[in-house]
Chains A and B, each alone.
Chain A
Amino acid sequence: MYTRRNRKWLGLMAMLAVLALAAGACGSDGEAADDGLFRIAVVAPSASNDLAFTQSMVDAVHALDGVDVIDITDGTFIVDDAAAAVRGYAKDGYDLVIAHGSQYGGSLQEIAKDFPDTAFAWGTSNDTFGLDNVSAYTAASDQGGYVMGAMAAAMTSSGVVGVIGPIAVGDAKLYVDGFVNGAAAQDPSVTVNVNYIESFSDVALAAEAAEGHIANGADILTGTAQMVVGATGVAAENGAKWFGTQSNQTALGEDMVVASQVYKWEKALQGIVNGVKNGDLGGGSHTINLENGGIVIEFNDGVDAGDARAIGEGLIADIKARMVDTGA
């Protein structure tokens, strides 16, 4: 069996082995260095510049106090790869590992048990699995949804509003439910069409869903999750207005985006970070909302929302004062 082809493989393996040893000798980065630096790692399913889900977390960790090292692994939509990344960070001695994606929960549940001295956080969810080194975070995105739904119902001239959602899960579902309820409360005669495209990432489908809404008469659109950029392009082309969520999406259209519900995850994370520094590794669930400043509605002054803006601002105040039930 000792043919030329076999020799090629043996050679390849030998070369790899030598290189691995050499790399191991030179390379060891970050082997649990006990240097007093506070390290955070984030594992997220889409790109850091997606103007949506992942970006909201990336922006947040950079806004934290008392954090020295921030490492991001983005684009890990393959659940097993994300799990490996989380485990890798924990092994490397990071102080707080954030698994940013509801599909990572099952894996985190198992990994966290293996690293009782590492703090973990995951979202969007409120389930800590009963482990005291896991914190959960979620956003009451129904609040912003409610406000913007009401604004949309007030602003629409065609009487039809379109919603493009990913999978009816987590904060996406909360947002959509809040939006629908807010619109109904403001003006029950307005039709709100909801289309969950069943994917977090299919941009083309999101674009077609938006086209569908436009064809059915919508003059205002909204949507959530990272595939939403497909829909915003369609909105721009058709002169529709847009309500954004998760991050400030004004950059997508200065004359199109009315307002964005921006997640300030740092409101929740800062508490977790401070806790970890004091020896409390977690075990609690944190929700960001309008009241604690974790959710902020950022209006785009480039778009004149007329009466709707006053309505919106009024609702924000009411929700903060707990006078409104968003029904989500």
Chain B
Amino acid sequence: MTDFFTMASLVFVVGSGIRLATPFLLAGLGETIGQRSGVLNLGVDGVMLLGAFGAYWTILETGRPVAGVSVGLGVGLVMGVVYGVVTVTLRAEQGVSGIGIFLFGLGMSDLLFQKKVGTPLPIRGFGEWHVPVLSRIPKVGEMFFQHSVLVYLAFLLVPLVAFLLNRTTFGLNVRAVGENPAAADSLGVSVARVRYTTILLANGLAGLAGAVLAIELGIFQQNLTNGQGFIAIALVYFGAWRPIGVMGGALLFGMVSATVLQWKTLGLVSGATSSLTAMAPAILTIVALVVISRTVGQPAALTRPFDRGL
């Protein structure tokens, strides 16, 4: 166990935790925006997979990471349009539509991968960008300031999204629509337009999260996300629908996962017992939530389609 508590080991764990947290964070932020306006999107994982494949294939063919990221984002936006049509215009039930999108994304990304990609060659990403000056601070620099550009982007989005939700008119509309769409409607806010926008943002971020995942791993595979999209949804609840809370949840999850992995690398746990330690992130998340014990915060109109006529 002393092996684990060396400086080098701990530094690695923190850095790794941040890296592992990034896709959760991006998808979680998107889902937060959507849910604050009353839209639950259970299809996040599927959109992430489509975004991941889009990014992977683009980079495989063109060799340009920026193009890959753009495609991932674009794929997410397209899925956002679809989801918007289904849940806002057609007012379909959100939970099941989301699961439908998930299944579609899961199957489609796998199908396209098997048929369009011959040998799954690895792709190169952005590499690390060392923040000038800050990255030179011993230990702290390694932990926080030597990551890929995409990681910084994700964490910068946290205050941005918070600002968006809390300090802009748009954010005000979003929250109003999420709490009481009828009242918002009577005040002249177009519920449909607000929700379309949040859905586009949410799905775009989900597609981006998938792209980030594929680029960081340098590869694509069937079910690459392995349920991360669902975990991101759970983290939104964990974070009480606040961006900073979601970030906290993502980091908690990432750090614990990284710790467990490091234990395995160092041979501190092995064989079957490693399965027990792999439960740690999940159990800790539940325990943390019980301790914090929040019951308030859910947007009142979450999952309810808004029908102007009613």
Query: Does A49 sit at the interface, judged by CB under 8 A?
Result: yes
> 1/0 per residue B101-118: CB within 8 Å of A?
000000000100110011
Query: Does B266 sit at the interface, judged by CB under 8 A?
Result: yes
Residues A38-73 near B (CB distance < 8 A):
46-47, 49-51
CA distance A195 to B259 in the complex (A): 13
Query: Does A132 sit at the interface, judged by CB under 8 A?
Result: no
Query: Does B135 sit at the interface, judged by CB under 8 A?
Result: no
CA distance A228 to B222 in the complex (A): 13
A236 / chain B contacts, CB cutoff of 8 Å: 122, 124, 218
Residues B101-157 near A (CB distance < 8 A):
110, 113-114, 117-125, 127
Query: Does B8 sit at the interface, judged by CB under 8 A?
Result: yes
Which of A47, A193, A213 is packed against the most chain B CB atoms within 10 Å?
Answer: A47
B16 / chain A contacts, CB cutoff of 8 Å: 208, 211-212, 215
A216 / chain B contacts, CB cutoff of 8 Å: 8-9, 12, 265-266
Are A251 and B119 neighbours in the complex by a CB distance under 8 Å?
yes
Question: Smallest CB-CB separation from B221: which chain A residue?
Answer: A203
Are B217 and A207 neighbours in the complex by a CB distance under 8 Å?
yes
- Minimal beta-carbon separation of A194 from chain B (angstroms): 7
One of B84-92, B193-201, B270-278 at the interface = B270-278
> 1/0 per residue A256-289: CB within 8 Å of B?
0000000000000000000000000000000000
Are A208 and B120 neighbours in the complex by a CB distance under 8 Å?
no
Contact status of A215 and B226, CB under 8 A, knowing A193-B265, A230-B219: no
Query: Does B261 sit at the interface, judged by CB under 8 A?
Result: yes
CA distance A213 to B261 in the complex (A): 10
Query: Does A168 sit at the interface, judged by CB under 8 A?
Result: yes
Count how many pairs of residues, one from A and one from B, have CB atoms less than 8 Å apart in the complex: 113
Which of A193, A207, A236 is packed against the most chain B CB atoms within 10 Å?
Answer: A207
Are B261 and A212 neighbours in the complex by a CB distance under 8 Å?
yes
Contact status of A204 and B261, CB under 8 A, knowing A194-B267, A212-B16: no
Pick the contact of B12 from A205, A212, A233, A251 — CB < 8 Å?
A: A212
B117 / chain A contacts, CB cutoff of 8 Å: 49
Query: Does A252 sit at the interface, judged by CB under 8 A?
Result: yes
Contact status of A204 and B218, CB under 8 A, knowing A49-B118, A193-B265, A198-B274: no
Are B217 and A203 neighbours in the complex by a CB distance under 8 Å?
yes
A202 / chain B contacts, CB cutoff of 8 Å: 226
- Minimal beta-carbon separation of B92 from chain A (angstroms): 17
Are B120 and A229 neighbours in the complex by a CB distance under 8 Å?
yes
Query: Does B262 sit at the interface, judged by CB under 8 A?
Result: yes
Query: Does B303 sit at the interface, judged by CB under 8 A?
Result: no
Question: Smallest CB-CB separation from B125: which chain A residue?
Answer: A237
B257 / chain A contacts, CB cutoff of 8 Å: 208
- Minimal beta-carbon separation of B287 from chain A (angstroms): 23
Are B219 and A196 neighbours in the complex by a CB distance under 8 Å?
no
Residues B210-237 near A (CB distance < 8 A):
213, 216-219, 221-224, 226, 228
Pick the contact of B261 from A49, A209, A226, A233 — CB < 8 Å?
A: A209
Query: Does A234 sit at the interface, judged by CB under 8 A?
Result: yes
Are B265 and A213 neighbours in the complex by a CB distance under 8 Å?
yes
A209 / chain B contacts, CB cutoff of 8 Å: 261, 264-265
Question: Smallest CB-CB separation from A206: which chain B residue?
Answer: B217
Contact status of A49 and B267, CB under 8 A, knowing A196-B274, A198-B274, A198-B275: no
Contact status of A208 and B226, CB under 8 A, knowing A50-B120, A51-B120, A229-B120: no
- Minimal beta-carbon separation of A257 from chain B (angstroms): 11
Contact status of A207 and B216, CB under 8 A, knowing A196-B270, A237-B124: yes
Residues A186-200 near B (CB distance < 8 A):
193-198
Query: Does B205 sit at the interface, judged by CB under 8 A?
Result: no
Pick the contact of A252 from B121, B124, B267, B278 — CB < 8 Å?
A: B121
Query: Does B258 sit at the interface, judged by CB under 8 A?
Result: yes
- Minimal beta-carbon separation of B118 from chain A (angstroms): 6
Query: Does B20 sit at the interface, judged by CB under 8 A?
Result: yes
Are B270 and A230 neighbours in the complex by a CB distance under 8 Å?
no
CA distance A50 to B219 in the complex (A): 11
B120 / chain A contacts, CB cutoff of 8 Å: 47, 49-51, 229
Residues A301-318 near B (CB distance < 8 A):
none
Q: List 12 A–B pairs whose Cβ atoms lie within 8 Å, in order of A's numbering.
A: A51-B119, A75-B222, A193-B265, A196-B264, A201-B222, A204-B228, A207-B216, A207-B217, A215-B15, A216-B266, A227-B221, A230-B217
A contact set with B: CB distance below 8 Å:
46-47, 49-51, 75, 162, 168, 193-198, 201-205, 207-209, 211-213, 215-216, 226-227, 229-230, 232-234, 236-237, 251-253
Top-8 shortest CB links A-B: A233-B218, A215-B12, A212-B265, A233-B122, A229-B219, A203-B221, A195-B265, A207-B217
New A-B pairs, 14, CB < 8 Å, besides A51-B119, A232-B219, A236-B124: A50-B120, A193-B265, A195-B261, A201-B223, A208-B16, A209-B264, A212-B12, A215-B15, A216-B266, A232-B218, A237-B125, A251-B121, A252-B121, A252-B122
